[in-house]
Amino acid sequence: MIKILLIEDDSELALILTAYLTKYDMEIIGAEDPYIGLSLLTQHDFDLVILDLTLPGMDGLEVIPKIRESSNIPIVISSARDDITDKVVGLERGADDYMPKPYDPRELVTRIKTILRRTNMPEAQEVEKTELFKVDRASRSILFKTKMLNLTAAEYDVLSMLISHKNGSVSREQLLYESEHIDDDSSIKNIDVIISRIRHKIGAIDNENIYIKPIRGIGYLLISNP
């Protein structure tokens, strides 16, 4: 059974989503308060978080980095705020998907299953190989030293581009503008933030080598054999 944490202060919507998702073998634990939601994350083993942005006491965009301090759990933003900036910032801070309200719960089910299939897939089927990295573009997943990297959508875009240019530099501008999940209006500095997160996740598997190196005045270089 899929276990989901729903951080949503609209009690009526929370009841509707809980009733619907339960039909698809999903267990939902709800929290109207973001602080309670963060506490629940330390008490239960969840598979995914559905996060509203307009919450009491703490904006949902501030909740994302707090989750990311200790967990790579997939996060789906569910928000009535239609400002494109919210979507961009949410994805850059580590969310995996953004669903603007109102939406059909059937689409939410599909998004959840797609994300979990991508993050939990043990092996790639259609694989591009480097010495250490394997990219499965069908599931948008990347293995490093046979271990799955739990990447956000933006992190996958950036790392897959670096892998496709292995041992060759890629400019920050290229990483920004060719990514599907980073808005064109984002700052170039956001690429540095995303690179830092990717390095951290690679370092959790191998902290003895540096695989992504900065190229002064240009961008970054992925080295397959450091």
pTM above 0.75, yes or no: no
Is residue 65 located within the same domain as residue 114? yes
Phi, psi for 15 (deg, rounded to 5): -65, -40
Asked if residues 120 and 167 have their Cβ atoms less than 8 Å apart, the reply is: no
Is residue 99 located within the same domain as residue 153? no
Residue 99: which of 158, 34, 112 has the closest Cα? 112
Is residue 142 located within the same domain as residue 77? no
Domain that holds residue 49: 2-119
pLDDT at 187: 74
Q: Three-state SS across the chain?
A: CEEEEEECCCHHHHHHHHHHHHCCCEEEEEECCHHHHHHHHHHCCCCEEEECCCCCCCCHHHHHHHHHCCCCCCEEEEECCCCHHHHHHHHHCCCCEEEECCCCHHHHHHHHHHHHHHHHCCCCCCEEECCCEEEECCCCEEEECCEEECCCHHHHHHHHHHHHCCCCEEEHHHHHHCCCCCCCCCCCHHHHHHHHHHHHHHHCCCCCCCCEEEECCCEEEECCCC
pLDDT at 184: 59
Is residue 182 located within the same domain as residue 212? yes
Q: Which amino acid is it at 208?
A: E
pLDDT at 82: 80
pLDDT at 218: 85
Is residue 101 located within the same domain as residue 139? no
For 127, 139, 165, 176, the CA distances from 124, given in Å and listed in that order, are 6, 8, 20, 26
CATH number at residue 101: 3.40.50.2300
Question: How many domains is the chain built from?
Answer: 2
Q: Which residue is listed with tokens 């390095």? A: 199
The residues pairing with 148 across neighbouring beta strands, listed in sequence order, are 143
> pLDDT per position in the chain (226 positions), as tens?
899 999 999 999 999 999 999 999 999 999 999 999 999 999 999 999 999 999 999 999 999 999 998 898 999 999 998 888 899 999 999 999 999 999 999 999 999 998 888 776 544 444 444 468 889 888 889 999 889 999 999 999 999 999 988 778 889 888 888 888 887 566 778 899 999 999 999 999 999 899 999 988 789 999 876 6
Is residue 44 located within the same domain as residue 149? no
Phi, psi for 134 (deg, rounded to 5): -130, 125
Is residue 91 located within the same domain as residue 169? no
Q: Which of 119, 140, 165 is the last residue of a domain?
A: 119
Is residue 104 located within the same domain as residue 56? yes
